[in-house]
Amino acid sequence: MTINEALAVSKAVRERINDLERMRNQVITETRHYDIDGKLRQETTVKVDVKTLDGKITLLQNFLLKADAGIKAANATTPVPALEKVDVDSLLAPLA
C-alpha cells in the first residue's frame, strides 16, 4: 500500500470508527411496551452485539496505529527533492 493509499484508507477508517461509536452509544437496544391482561409489560431486544461492535472498533483502531507508524517510518527516510538545496543554517541564522 502506498502512503497516499494509506492516508485515504485511514480517513475512511476514521469515519467508520465514528459511525460505529455513534451506533454503540445510541442504537444498541430497542424497547417495546405492551399491555397483557391489564398489566403493562416491557420487552427489551438487543439490536447490536456490543462485544462484536467493540471488536470491530478495536480492529479498525489497530489498523490506524499500524498505518500511522508505517507512514511515519516511510516519511523519515524519504527525501524531499524540492528541499535538497535549502541551507538550513542560513535560513535560521539571526538577523544581526
Taking the domains of the chain in order of start, what are their residue ranges? Answer: 3-77
Please say whether the beta carbons of 27 and 48 come within 8 A. Answer: yes
pTM: predicted TM-score of the whole model, two decimal places: 0.66
Please say whether the beta carbons of 47 and 30 come within 8 A. Answer: yes
Q: What's the pLDDT at 12? A: 95
Write out the H or E segment, with its range, that includes residue 43: strand 39-46
Query: What's the CA gap between 75 and 71, in Å, rounded?
Result: 6
| pLDDT tens-digit readout, 1-56 | 888 999 999 999 999 999 999 888 777 778 888 887 878 888 888 787 888 889 99
